[in-house]
Amino acid sequence: MKFLRGTFIGLFCLVVGFLLLWQPLPTLAQGSAPAKGKPAVYDFGAKYCVPCKEMQKVVAELKPQYGDQVEFRMVYSDEEMPLFHQYKIVAIPTQVFFDASGKVVDQHIGALPKEELIKKLKELKFIR
Catalytic residues: 49, 52
Which string of DSSP letters, residue by residue, matches 60-118?
A: HHHHHHHTTTSEEEEEETTT-HHHHHHTT--SSSEEEEE-TTS-EEEEEES---HHHHH
**Interstrand relation of 71-76 and 40-45 (parallel, antiparallel or unpaired):** parallel
